[in-house]
Amino acid sequence: MTITKAIFDIANKAPHSNSLAWVFEKLEHEPSYIHTKMFGCEAAYVDGRLCLVIGDRNEPWNGLLVCTSHVDHAALIEEMPALHPHAVLGKWLYVSQNSEVFEETAEKATALVLTHDPRIGVEPKPRKRRMRR
């Protein structure tokens, strides 16, 4: 194999398809829905707020993160008991896709996002501009 062919193959390799993409399917009909990449995972914004993040990597990035504030943790955990604070981003709640109730929890969280539940979603921080040297 030539170096040119190897570079071409790497550059044109199909991007990794997230096995949890189905979690965001119902959000696609929401007019304000935006889908982006984040932390090597995929993120869903609704009404300009970061609501959900899906990852299919190694733990603790192998499931659904529900973006919320600490004050709403107890109420959301009561409604979806499989949720717990994320090991790295403790401000958000998490359920691993290895959980027996992952699908049920993901569907419930998505439904809450679609009802614009104020407990789910955080305002993104404005990006800092890099100074040119």
Q: What is the pLDDT of residue 112?
A: 98
Tell me the HSE value of 40 on the side-chain side, using a 13 A CA sphere.
8
d(CA 105, CA 128): 34
pLDDT score for 125? 78
Structure tokens at 57: 């990597």
For 15-48, give the DSSP string: PPPPTTGGGGGGGGGSTT-EEEEETTEEEEEETT
Question: How many CB atoms are closer than 10 A to CB 127?
Answer: 6
Residue 133: its pLDDT value, please? 64
pLDDT for res 16? 54
Dihedral sign for Cα atoms in the order 42, 20, 86, 80: positive
H helix or E strand, kind and range, residue 78: helix 73-79
pLDDT in tens, the chain (133 residues): 444 344 434 444 444 578 999 999 999 999 999 999 988 899 999 999 999 999 999 999 999 999 999 999 999 999 999 999 999 999 999 999 999 999 999 999 999 999 999 999 999 877 777 777 6
